Amino acid sequence: MVSWIPSSSSHTLVGGFAGAAIAHAGGFDVVHTGKVLKIVSFIFLAPFLGMVMSYFLSVILLHITRWGNPGRLNKWFKSLQLLSSALFSLGHGGNDAQKVMGIIAAALMVYFNGVDPSLIPDWAQVELVNGKIHDIPHWIILGCYTAISMGTLMGGWRIVKTMGGKITKITPFEGVAAEGAGALLLFGTEAFGIPVSTTHTITGAIMGVGVAKRVSAVRWGITINLLWAWILTIPVSMVVSAGIYFLLSTFM
């Protein structure tokens, strides 16, 4: 996969988790296919919804600001982009970090399966209500949010360049519209417990602001490469995780 293509950590986790489970069980029966198909469907739905929402948000903002001074508006949108990017980052953490928390919690439950609950240390206590995870140790929450923040801070500049300029030209106005639409979509899917890819969401949103200018403003060749990468993420992750499982089981 080309290094500058932004892949979905959500789908990487789903594929990796499923691949390891299949390798352990020796069959596909352990995978809840309905849940996986729901996630797979959002490979296409998330960017489409992001594109539609950012398109209409762009049209609304253009209508509101049509009589404004371009120079002054550009300054305003530079300031607003701090808010829109913060909201999108909040949605990103609220969506992506939750998936890692769930996997760590599941690993703890498997490791301590069959152990007397009174003998499980406090740092490993996972509370279940009606068979579903209700509460997890605070170190998991802090660790996941810290790691996702540090990863964002370190940056992947090739990916930044792809998202910021190779799909379509982004100005502060387009940035506000794309990030605002992406944040709204992430908050909405979080409310319904749907694990979507923030990568897919913001890519679709960037395409939407490009279409709002003109259809030719979007470099569709780049988006096709992205789509292929997204489609392959889950199966490739499954194969890799199954291979690692077999490799580790050979020596353990």
pLDDT one-digit tens code per residue, 116-153 = 888 889 899 888 888 778 889 999 999 988 888 888 78
The whole-angstrom separation of Cα 224 and Cα 228 is 6
Residue-range definition of the domain harbouring residue 241: 9-22+31-251
What residue has token string 């399966």?
113
Residue 96 within a domain: yes
Residue 192: inside a domain, yes or no?
A: yes
pLDDT tens column, 153-200: 876 667 777 777 778 888 899 999 999 999 999 998 888 877 788 888
pTM as predicted: 0.78
Asked if residue 3 belongs to a domain, the reply is no
The answer as to whether 47 is a domain residue is yes
Q: Is residue 231 in some structural domain?
A: yes
174 vs 230, more confident:
174
- CA 39 vs CA 43, 46, 187, 189, 226: distances in Å: 7, 10, 16, 11, 17
Number of structural domains (the chain) is 1
